[in-house]
Amino acid sequence: MQRALQLAGLGRGTVSPNPMVGCVIVANNRIIGEGWHRNYGKAHAEVEAVRNAMARGYSEELAGATAYVTLEPCSHYGKTPPCADLLISKRVGAVVVANEDPNPLVSGRGMARLRDAGIEVVSGVRAEEGALLNRRFFSGIERARPYVILKWAQTRDGYLALPGERTKISNPSVDVIVHKWRAEEDAILVGRQTVQTDNPRLNLRHWAGVNPVRIVLDTNLTTARPGCFVFDGSQPTFFVNRGRESLPEGVFNRYAERPETGFPVFYLSCADGTRSLADVLGKFYHLGVASILVEGGGGVLASFLEEGLWDEIRMIQCDKILGRGVKAPLPEGTMTHYEQVQDNTIFYFISPK
Ligand code: AOF
Ligand code: ZN
């Protein structure tokens, strides 16, 4: 299972809003096949592992083998046929699972199907590690909103920036880490003020991967276009506002086919002119956005904190002193760990919920 979890993690940044899933097949105490869910819409982990065993010449050994899967094998016809049926057809002898699949289309039915076919099923092995790995997926199904990570950099005296100016606070090694974080979440969110003062690109430059979707909170759609990177068409970009709505059709996915000539700008309207964050988050979840990295500025971070709409905080403490400026929020929750990156320290907090 430990190996299966390790394999599952290789899907980070390419499978959302699906969970990361790994599978290891063991016969006679040897691993004969392994695989993981690599890309959204593509083969599930079990299919990859069975294929791998067959490609290695172990087709016959599949009968009676034990499959270790980090998530309960699915029982539904989605983009692929049910994995439970595949394991049954290969006549595996036992299936060991870390987490039950909370997807209402599955939720226990996959394991029931295996048991009905006479296969021994054990569940809950390394379940805590599995739950941590797929915390975005699990929390999404539970709360119907994306997993929210608040990120900010602050000076030693607690400021985010000088008022109204782009202020470089963190060091270059931290930038690399932040770009990696951007590769790991579906969307990145900022307020209009940040777009106006920083003109950020909100993309990956120091890390290879798929750019996140950009979300700008811009109630009255007053962001000035000329020279503004969020309008450059390099990434799908949503403007949350009052009144105007033009959304992608169906479930939006950032790994979908890339258009040749620029990504569209989408508009998401928020009910009755009040920008209710919970409402906005719910809409994005239903569009297929499983996680959001909130990068500021001060007002936006404060609203997420005030409304309790956050799951993690990653606070970068820098060595500079500003003496004045936009006050950084106070981090909440439980600090889990910290790391030193050159002369900056990154503190990680999780929400107590
Ligand atoms: C598995 N093995 O490797 C994964 C599973 O749209 P589909 O067909 O890809 O189905 C996605 C759902 O399947 C997803 O929401 C989750 O419930 C389950 N994911 N199941 O047996 C896998 N990735
Ligand atoms: Zn499946």
DSSP string, 44-108: -HHHHHHHHHHHTT-TGGGTT-EEEEEE----S-SSS--HHHHHHHTT-SEEEEEE----TTTTT
Does the structure show a pLDDT above 70 at 258?
no
Give the position of tokens 């209009």: 192
**What are the pocket residues of ligand 1 if the criterion is a CB atom closer than 6 Å to any ligand atom?**
18-19, 21, 37, 44-46, 71, 73-74, 78-80, 83, 101, 103, 106
ipTM for the whole complex? 0.92
- Considering every ligand atom shown, identify the ligand nearest to the alpha carbon of residue 42 and give its number: 1
pLDDT band at 164 (very low <50, low <70, confident <90, very high): confident
Helices (H), 108-228: 109-116, 127-133, 135-143, 172-184, 192-198
In single-letter form, the type of residue at position 93 comes to G
**Range name among 12-16, 86-90, 222-226 with the lowest pLDDT average:** 222-226
279, two tokens? 């409402």
- pLDDT for position 253: 75
Condensed to tens digits (0 to 9), the pLDDT of residues 217-239 reads 999 999 988 889 999 988 899 99
Q: Show which residues are catalytic.
A: 46
Mean pLDDT (the chain, rounded): 94
**Nearest protein CA to atom 18 of ligand 1, as residue:** 74
297-322: per-residue pLDDT in tens?
999 999 999 999 999 999 999 999 99
Share of the chain above pLDDT 90, in %: 85
pLDDT range class, residue 143, cuts 50, 70, 90? very high
DSSP for 107-118, please give it. Answer: TTHHHHHHHHTT
Q: Please give the pLDDT value at position 257.
A: 66
| Confidence at residue 261, expressed as pLDDT on a 0 to 100 scale | 67
